[in-house]
């Protein structure tokens, strides 16, 4: 008989690890420890996805996943995001409201591989999918296309198991090329881009979408 898995909140587990009443200080030991836990969640999930990648390559002679990137958000980036969204500077509010502190990007060869990978993530043992947004079927106004998932990943420590939120972005090689360049131009530039430039980026995204579709038909 299968036991029904108890619904576990990452907040319940992490509250034994941090002091919620302490104000968010980016340089203190508590913050460093918390980022360490997020890095362990990435390692755990990256291993599971890496196994899927190797399984399809070796057993089925198919490159379902081209490559996997990961990162833990920089302290300054977390701080800026909280200020922008007017989130209170506390660990409780950070954990509850910032879902992309730990992030993994899965880059697939073809559009159909993105949706296949998404389904496989749903079936990963002990990984709970919390939210999903399909920006491939419904791209953003900017032209951005990717499949987003927020999941909870169990981090098994010696004395406790902590469930940690991780953001997953799944996209094609072509989408990743566009998004990487667009991010550098739009968010790293000293001046805002013009409306005409923004329109050109949208046009490029549409061309890439057509290219993705043609490549999928050829395969």
Domains, in order of start, for the chain? 10-173 (3.30.460.10)
Mean pLDDT check: name the lowest of 26-30, 109-113, 131-135, 156-160. Answer: 26-30
pLDDT band at 211 (very low <50, low <70, confident <90, very high): confident
Q: Output the CA torsion 118→63→105→68 (10° steps).
A: 140
Q: Which residue has the higher pLDDT, 133 or 178?
A: 133
What is the pLDDT at residue 6? 46
Please give the mean pLDDT across all residues of the chain.
86
Q: Which residue has the higher pLDDT, 202 or 31?
A: 31
Count Cβ neighbours within 10 Å for each residue of 151-166 and write b for 16 or more, e otherwise. Answer: bbbbbeeeeeebbbbb
What is the pLDDT at residue 51? 98
Q: Is the per-residue pLDDT at 70 higher than 80?
A: yes
pLDDT band at 29 (very low <50, low <70, confident <90, very high): confident
């Amino acid at each position: 008989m299968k036991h029904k898995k108890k619904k576990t909140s990452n907040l319940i587990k992490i509250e034994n690890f941090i002091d919620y009443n302490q104000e968010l200080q980016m340089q203190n030991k508590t913050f460093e420890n918390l980022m360490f836990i997020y890095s362990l969640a990435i390692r755990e999930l990256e291993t599971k996805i890496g196994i899927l990648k190797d399984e399809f390559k070796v057993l089925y002679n198919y490159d379902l996943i081209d490559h996997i990137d990961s990162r833990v958000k920089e302290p300054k980036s977390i701080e800026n995001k909280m200020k922008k969204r007017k989130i209170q500077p506390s660990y409780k509010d950070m954990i509850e409201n910032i879902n992309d502190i730990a992030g993994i990007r899965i880059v697939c060869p073809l559009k159909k591989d993105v949706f296949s990978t998404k389904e496989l993530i749903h079936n990963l043992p002990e990984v709970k999918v919390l939210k999903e947004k399909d920006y491939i079927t419904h791209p953003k106004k900017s032209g951005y296309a990717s499949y987003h998932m927020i999941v909870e990943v169990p981090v098994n420590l010696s004395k406790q198991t902590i469930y940690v939120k991780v953001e997953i972005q799944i996209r094609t090689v072509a989408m990743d090329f566009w998004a990487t360049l667009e991010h550098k131009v739009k968010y790293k530039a000293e001046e805002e881009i013009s409306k005409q430039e923004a329109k050109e980026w949208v046009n490029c995204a549409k061309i890439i979408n057509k290219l993705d579709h043609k490549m999928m038909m050829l395969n």
